[in-house]
Chains A and B, each alone.
Chain A
Amino acid sequence: MDDLTQQGVLGHLMALERGGLARQDPHQSEKLEMLIVTAVTLRTKRDQLKRQVEDIKILKDKIKSGLPLDDDDEGPAELQRSLLTAWRMQLKDLQHAHHLIGGYDVVECKEGRSVCVCFHTAFEGVYLDTYNMELDMTRTVQISRHNIPPSIPLERFAKQNLQKDFKAFLETLSQNLNALAARKQQLSLIKELVGSVEVMESNQLCNTLVLMCKAQGETFAVVLCTLQYRDLAHYLPTHVCIESEDETLSESEQWKKNRALFLESPAHMALLTMKRMGSIV
């Protein structure tokens, strides 16, 4: 066959192939159709939004210039709807703000017969666990349901304040829960950030912490730091005990300073400072 004829045959074969593909793949054309429909729908939505944004901007300028709001050419209903939507949005923002600053998110349930509160906890900007409680308000205030950890003396707090000072009850509980969350978080941060220090002992309430450090020096003496948190409403220890196989170490100026660090700053920060100062490994 000469070139021309070859091209002609190849061309013919290619056309047949293309036609075959189209027939073989109806899915392709279905998909295309769906895409076109989506594009058209989205285009309409986009244009609608553009108009709304324009209208709202005009509304804003009108309000700014102090024009009365009832003589509007776009129809009072749309105008009022936009304003009401704006008002609702502002109210929702305020609600959200109360939630973010650690509010109790109090909600009335069962037609006012009971009330649900949330206790939000956070430490150094990191939001931690949230605890919930339902209180029956019919005759006296009674706790009906809750997920407060058993290590918190809930009964004692309820006895102290629940009937006579509801807000004080909530405050006390919130303080204790936040202190617990803070102690737990410090423990978690020690494990995460200060790998060289081993946590020998801790408990559910996180009110006793025993840490094993290695002092920097020739012998890398082992130092045991016992942190006791006797005030459960606080995230710093009340008592710190330093013990070491090397007795001179625990009496040294450096370790007296370290002890003070433990009393004044969160445990993980104290350890990181000690590491930085070359006190421990």
Chain B
Amino acid sequence: MEKKYEDEVQLLQKEIEMLEAEREETLRSIFIEHGDRLQQELKSFFEELEGDGEQKHALSKLITQIRDLEKDLRRQTEINGITLNECFVKTLNKSERRQVQQVRLAGHCGLLLFQVEFAVTEIQEGKALLRRITELNIVVDGAEFKDFSAFVSRVEDTKDLLLFFRTLRTFSERCEERQRTFQHFQSCLGERRSCNLIKL
């Protein structure tokens, strides 16, 4: 008798886990595919809520959380120097102590565009959380990247995600510096030419 219920409880717990994961994934996919449009619609909805007292109370906590998260993200983007335009996170498998996630990101650092896809495994060992990148694919675009591509292959082999982004930042700064220097010389040359014309 007991066994029958024990089995049912176990089965139900597994079902609930799966359904929660499904709910999470479907919600995520809605935002990944239609995020921009939804944000617009929800913004106008926020204004509507200002009037409706009861509704406001029910959803205001969520709205405050969203506003705070957006503010925080602007801060992270500014200080990290990396803008993420697309972010796709999928939990591949999850157990009590182990989790594998697949992450796909697209964005830019200065004028340099990138697309990164990686898998990250986390294992809880006592108090410590061990985290490791197990797969890494990087795509970068642009003429500036000729000297960069050897570095990118090496970083993919060694799975050094953090090194890639640190180097990307430095590289981006140098590219911008080069551009500024180039523009400076261009404008200098331009002035000199017009000066010579006047002399003649």
Query: What residues of chain A have their CB less than 8 Å away from a CB belonging to chain B?
Result: 28, 31-32, 35-36, 38-39, 42-43, 45-46, 49-50, 52-53, 56-57, 59-60, 63-64, 69, 76-77, 80-98, 100-108, 117, 120-127, 167, 170-171, 174-175, 178
Contact = CB atoms under 8 A, between A and B. Distances in A.
A53 B26 contact: yes
19 contacts: A28-B2, A38-B9, A63-B34, A63-B38, A80-B59, A88-B69, A90-B32, A93-B87, A95-B73, A97-B105, A98-B76, A100-B103, A101-B105, A103-B79, A103-B80, A122-B133, A122-B161, A170-B79, A171-B170
Contacts of A104: 76, 79-80
B149 interface: no
B70 A91 contact: yes
A84 B62 contact: yes
B132 A125 contact: yes
Interface in B26-45: 26-35, 37-39, 41-42, 45
B79 A81 contact: no
Interface in B81-103: 81-82, 84, 87-89, 103
Contacts of A171: 166, 169-170
A178 B23 contact: no
B66 A87 contact: yes
Contacts of B169: 171
A121 B59 CA distance: 39
Nearest to B19: A49
B133 A56 contact: no
8 cross-chain pairs, A with B, having the tightest CB-CB distances, nearest first: A125-B159, A125-B133, A102-B162, A42-B12, A86-B27, A91-B69, A35-B5, A49-B19
A53 B16 CA distance: 11
Given A31-B2, A80-B59, A95-B73, A100 B120 contact: yes
Contacts of A100: 103, 120, 161
Given A53-B19, A83-B30, A96 B89 contact: yes
